[in-house]
């Protein structure tokens, strides 16, 4: 029968911040770059800065459907005393016409069409009689009224996007407007996720006594993809040191390995037994709830490796606190931490002294104001995987706080 490892073996109590720093120091940007078409760029991390290749807008153009005029001509215009102008051009968006507008004349112009030379303002169609050959103008125009200036958004050569940002819809659109067709993006880190435990069966398979459906490998695979990595392998390994060692040696090439389960002090805690024996991996008790037992280091050959505690909520919290920042560092993100927000607590709960608590919370509205509530029926219980589905994020309760009361402000990381 396997024996318990000595309870103190290699175990040091460390703060969340100290473990975080250790993790960040143990991973580096992977540095591989892909060139992608803009249509494929959303969700990727920009590898090199983007400077505008053209002025945006590229030419002075109309902000309204109406008439391009010379301001001086319409200075006296009012509903009672309209100014009538000859309409000498019709300019839809895309028009390349370049006709000079002389005094007493106007061009019918649509939103986005270039302002013709000579004209210096646009009168919206609502302020006219809408005429085709001649138009009665019913209002004066301010300087450059309804004119969108060349380069007012960004000028050619100016910085549009900094490296290390996540390319979302708006950033891809900005790159397109700035004249780029493709972008240099960070290659996604290849991540192997391994759920350990002899109790695990395939989701959907009948449960024999003592067996559970493996949720961690799916949780981790989806979290990896969401953080910008690609899953090289996702598998289950029973609590058999020989099998685990075999997999470690024969695994697909990858940039990071994440184990879940088997890191604690149980007699069958296979990740601890195997990684502990290989060297290069530190086992810690981190001052957090959940997620206290943590392993991090490198496999022989240097691939960084996490051993996360097996309880599913602990996996989700550990991923948020340590693995996601590591992946973002590997991707070259400028900012590896997620932004947090102050939110008001709707219900209260207890937090363990001396440990940073990550409470799964759901966003809600009370009396028209945003609040957060515990997402799971049992609060912080790290086995409450079904309740985790209701969480929009985690409330992060500082180490010194023991009592979170209704009405208190807490820091919240929104993960959904």
Tokens 């219900």 belong to 347
Within 10 angstroms of residue 6's Cβ, the number of other Cβ atoms is 9
Q: What is the H or E stretch that residue 135 is in? A: strand 134-137
Q: C-beta of 285: minimal distance to ligand MOO in Å?
A: 9
Stretch of 91-99, 174-182, 207-215, 308-316 contacting ligand MOO, by CB under 6 A: 308-316
> Is residue 248 classed as helix, strand or coil in its secondary structure?
helix
Tokens of 348: 């209260």
Partner whose footprint covers residue 26, from ligand LQZAQKY5, ligand MOO, none (CB < 5 to 8 Å by kind): none
Q: Choose which of 290, 307, 312, 393 interacts with ligand MOO (CB under 6 A).
A: 290
Q: Which is nearer to ligand LQZAQKY5, 55 or 214 (CB)?
A: 214
Greatest alpha-carbon span in the chain: 102
Q: Evaluate whether 82 touches 64 at the Cβ level (below 8 Å).
A: no
Residue 269 within binding range of ligand LQZAQKY5, rule CB under 6 A: yes
Q: Evaluate whether 85 touches 73 at the Cβ level (below 8 Å).
A: yes
Q: Choose which of 215, 340, 344, 390 interacts with ligand LQZAQKY5 (CB under 6 A).
A: 215
Q: C-beta of 316: minimal distance to ligand MOO in Å?
A: 10
User: What CA–CA distance (Å, rounded) separates 216 from 354?
Assistant: 27
Going by C-alpha positions, the residue among 293, 338, 290, 310 that lies closest to residue 219 is 310
| 291-320 positions binding ligand LQZAQKY5, by CB under 6 A | 292-293, 309-312, 314
Cα 227 to the chain's mean position, in Å?
7
Cα 349 to the chain's mean position, in Å?
29
Show the site string, 378-407: x = touches ligand MOO by CB under 6 A, - = not. Answer: ----x-------------------------
Q: Choose which of 45, 128, 314, 376 interacts with ligand MOO (CB under 6 A).
A: 314
Partner whose footprint covers residue 123, from ligand MOO, ligand LQZAQKY5, none (CB < 5 to 8 Å by kind): none
Query: DSSP E strands: which ranges in 65-112?
Result: 66-69, 83-91, 105-109
Residue 309 within binding range of ligand MOO, rule CB under 6 A: yes
Residue 284 within binding range of ligand MOO, rule CB under 6 A: no
User: What CA–CA distance (Å, rounded) separates 227 from 222?
Assistant: 9
User: What CA–CA distance (Å, rounded) separates 193 from 127?
Assistant: 65
Q: Choose which of 292, 299, 395, 404 interacts with ligand MOO (CB under 6 A).
A: 292
| 172-211 positions binding ligand LQZAQKY5, by CB under 6 A | 195, 197, 199-200
Q: Choose which of 264, 294, 318, 376 interacts with ligand LQZAQKY5 (CB under 6 A).
A: 264
Residue 311 within binding range of ligand MOO, rule CB under 6 A: yes
Tokens of 356: 């940073």
User: What CA–CA distance (Å, rounded) separates 364 from 366?
Assistant: 7
- Helix then strand then coil, % of the chain, to nearest 5: 20, 35, 45
Q: Which is nearer to ligand LQZAQKY5, 94 or 210 (CB)?
A: 210
Residue 262 within binding range of ligand LQZAQKY5, rule CB under 6 A: yes
Partner whose footprint covers residue 312, from ligand LQZAQKY5, ligand MOO, none (CB < 5 to 8 Å by kind): ligand LQZAQKY5
Query: DSSP E strands: which ranges in 238-353?
Result: 256-260, 281-286, 288-289, 293-298, 304-308, 341-345, 349-350
Q: Which residues bind to ligand MOO, rule: CB under 6 A?
A: 289-292, 309, 311, 314, 382
What are the residues binding ligand LQZAQKY5 (CB under 6 A)?
A: 195, 197, 199-200, 212, 214-217, 260-266, 269, 290, 292-293, 309-312, 314, 382-383
């Amino acid at each position: 029968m396997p024996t318990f490892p000595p309870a103190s073996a290699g175990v040091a109590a460390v703060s969340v911040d100290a473990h975080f720093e250790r993790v960040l120091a143990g991973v580096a940007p992977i540095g591989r770059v892909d060139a992608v078409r803009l249509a494929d760029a959303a969700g990727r991390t920009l590898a090199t800065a983007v400077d505008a290749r053209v002025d945006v807008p590229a030419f002075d153009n109309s902000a309204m459907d109406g008439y391009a005029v010379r301001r001086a001509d319409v200075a006296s215009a009012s509903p009672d005393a309209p100014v009538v102008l000859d309409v000498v051009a019709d300019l839809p968006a895309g028009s390349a016409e370049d006709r000079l507008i002389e005094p007493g004349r106007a061009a019918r112009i649509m939103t986005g069409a270039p302002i013709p030379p000579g004209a210096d303002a646009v009168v919206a169609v609502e302020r006219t009689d809408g005429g085709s050959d001649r138009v009665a103008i019913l209002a004066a125009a301010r300087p450059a009224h309804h004119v969108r200036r060349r380069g007012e958004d960004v000028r050619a050569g100016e910085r549009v996007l900094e490296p290390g940002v996540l390319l979302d819809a708006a950033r891809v659109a900005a790159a397109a407007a700035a004249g780029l067709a493709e972008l240099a993006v960070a290659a996604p880190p290849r991540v192997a996720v391994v759920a350990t435990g002899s109790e695990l069966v395939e989701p959907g398979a009948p449960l024999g006594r003592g067996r559970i459906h493996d949720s961690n490998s799916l949780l981790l695979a989806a979290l990896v993809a969401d953080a910008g990595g690609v899953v090289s392998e996702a598998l289950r390994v029973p609590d058999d040191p020989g099998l685990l060692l075999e997999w470690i040696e024969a695994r697909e090439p990858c940039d990071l390995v994440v184990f879940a389960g088997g890191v604690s002090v149980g007699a069958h805690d296979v990740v601890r037994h195997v990684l502990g024996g290989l060297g290069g991996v530190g086992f810690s008790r981190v001052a957090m709830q959940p997620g206290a037992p943590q392993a991090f280091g490198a496999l022989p050959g240097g691939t960084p490796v996490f051993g996360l505690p097996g309880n599913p909520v602990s996996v989700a919290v550990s991923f948020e606190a340590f693995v996601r920042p590591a992946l973002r560092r590997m991707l070259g993100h400028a900012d590896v931490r997620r932004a947090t927000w102050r939110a008001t607590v709707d219900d209260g709960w207890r937090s363990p002294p001396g440990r940073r608590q990550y409470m799964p919370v759901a966003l809600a509205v009370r009396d028209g104001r945003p609040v957060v509530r515990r997402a799971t029926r049992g609060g912080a219980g790290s086995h409450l995987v079904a309740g985790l589905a209701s969480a929009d994020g985690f409330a992060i309760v500082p180490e010194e706080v023991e009592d979170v009361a209704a009405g208190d402000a807490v820091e919240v990381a929104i993960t959904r």
